[in-house]
């Protein structure tokens, strides 16, 4: 099977390790991964800040880049939710504004074929034990768009529970937002920070070494809050844990 990796602009620029981990993991599971070089950004920040008309060209660009692949896999719940949940909505709005069905029709193929990483592993490949080894105590934060947007359910937890050596510790208030929220983190910095501090406090109360999530944007906010507070905890993307093996363990 050949899939396109939609890494997201944030991961591409700031978290290339997550991208390498996804490639390593999928390759190990027998999937041929392609990285279309023309990919950029799904337009989520534009759309969610109110710039829908700036987001539309980015959705079209996404469709041009990824339209021909049988599956598109992304290690980001929020960017995955943008494509799956909000692209159709952009199509509906364009139609309501008398611009016909063109946008909806253009986006339809990528909407149907885009999977968040854990969905792809569990639903498409049908695996929960990916042969990973990660001898650490881990607590898991289910990000809002993964949890409520895409409805990932217990897929990430099932994948983590199957990792050899990993001890999964419950995160109190796990389903509460960490406070990132894209431009919310800038526009309402005080509230965003207060939410982040509470998330870090809850994470630290578990005594785990690692806070895991399947979205680096949330981890950027949580991790930045952790280091500012002098915490010893490390934020790690789920893909990096799943890519880790006994032969090549992740740090």
Q: Which residues contact 13 (CB under 8 A, 6 or more apart)?
A: none
Does 7 participate in binding other proteins (rule CB under 8 A)? yes
Q: Applying CB under 8 A, which of residues 181, 202, 203, 208 lies at the interface with other proteins? A: 181
CB closer to other proteins, 137 vs 186: 186
Does 47 participate in binding other proteins (rule CB under 8 A)? yes
Q: Applying CB under 8 A, which of residues 2, 89, 99, 164 lies at the interface with other proteins? A: 89
Q: What is the rounded distance in angstroms from the CA atom of residue 88 to the CA atom of residue 132? A: 35
CB of residue 132 to other proteins, shortest distance in Å = 12
Q: Which of residues 98-127 bind other proteins (CB under 8 A)?
A: none
CB of residue 153 to other proteins, shortest distance in Å = 13
Does 247 participate in binding other proteins (rule CB under 8 A)? yes
Q: Which residues contact 160 (CB under 8 A, 6 or more apart)?
A: 138, 140, 166, 168, 212, 238, 241
Q: What is the rounded distance in angstroms from the CA atom of residue 249 to the CA atom of residue 135? A: 9
Q: Which stretch binds other proteins (CB under 8 A): 30-38, 66-74, 98-106, 114-122?
A: 30-38
CB 194 within 8 A of CB 187: no
CB of residue 217 to other proteins, shortest distance in Å = 11
Q: What is the rounded distance in angstroms from the CA atom of residue 162 to the CA atom of residue 164? A: 6
Query: Hunting for tokens 């509906």 — which residue is that?
Result: 92
Structure tokens at 150: 């895409």
Structure tokens at 33: 């991964």
Pick from 104, 85, 63, 92: which is nearest to 150 by CA? 85
CB closer to other proteins, 24 vs 113: 24
Does 223 participate in binding other proteins (rule CB under 8 A)? yes
Q: Applying CB under 8 A, which of residues 43, 75, 91, 142 lies at the interface with other proteins? A: 43
Q: Applying CB under 8 A, which of residues 2, 51, 68, 70 lies at the interface with other proteins? A: 51
CA 93 to chain centre: 26
Q: Which stretch binds other proteins (CB under 8 A): 54-62, 69-77, 119-127, 152-160?
A: 54-62
CB closer to other proteins, 55 vs 233: 55
CB closer to other proteins, 86 vs 122: 86
Q: Which of residues 10-29 bind other proteins (CB under 8 A)?
A: 11-17, 19-20, 23-24, 27-28
Q: Which residues contact 114 (CB under 8 A, 6 or more apart)?
A: 6, 66, 72, 73, 74, 80, 83, 84
Query: If DSSP codes are grouped into helix, strand and coil, which group holds residue 173?
Result: coil
Q: Which of residues 133-152 bind other proteins (CB under 8 A)?
A: 144-145, 148-149
Structure tokens at 20: 């390498």
């Amino acid at each position: 099977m050949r899939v396109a990796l939609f890494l997201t602009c944030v991961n591409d620029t700031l978290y290339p390790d997550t991208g390498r981990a996804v490639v390593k993991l999928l390759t190990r599971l027998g999937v041929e991964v392609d990285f279309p070089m023309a990919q950029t950004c799904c337009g989520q920040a534009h759309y969610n800040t109110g710039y829908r008309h700036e987001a539309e060209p980015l959705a079209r660009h996404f469709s041009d880049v990824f339209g021909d692949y049988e599956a598109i896999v992304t290690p980001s719940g929020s960017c995955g939710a943008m494509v799956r949940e909000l692209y159709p909505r952009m199509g509906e709005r364009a139609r309501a504004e008398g611009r016909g069905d063109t946008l909806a029709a253009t986006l339809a193929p990528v909407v149907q074929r885009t999977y968040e990483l854990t969905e792809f592993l569990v639903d498409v490949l049908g695996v929960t034990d990916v042969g990973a080894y990660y001898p650490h105590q881990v607590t898991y934060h289910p990000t809002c768009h993964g949890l409520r947007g895409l409805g990932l359910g217990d897929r990430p937890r099932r994948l983590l529970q199957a990792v050899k050596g990993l001890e999964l510790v419950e995160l109190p208030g796990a389903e509460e937002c960490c406070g990132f929220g894209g431009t919310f983190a800038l526009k309402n910095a005080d509230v965003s920070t207060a939410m982040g501090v509470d998330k870090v406090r809850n994470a630290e109360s578990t005594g785990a070494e690692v806070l895991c999530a399947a979205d680096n944007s949330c981890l950027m906010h949580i991790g930045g809050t952790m280091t500012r507070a002098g915490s010893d905890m490390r934020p790690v993307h789920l893909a990096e844990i799943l890519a880790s093996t006994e032969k090549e363990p992740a740090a």
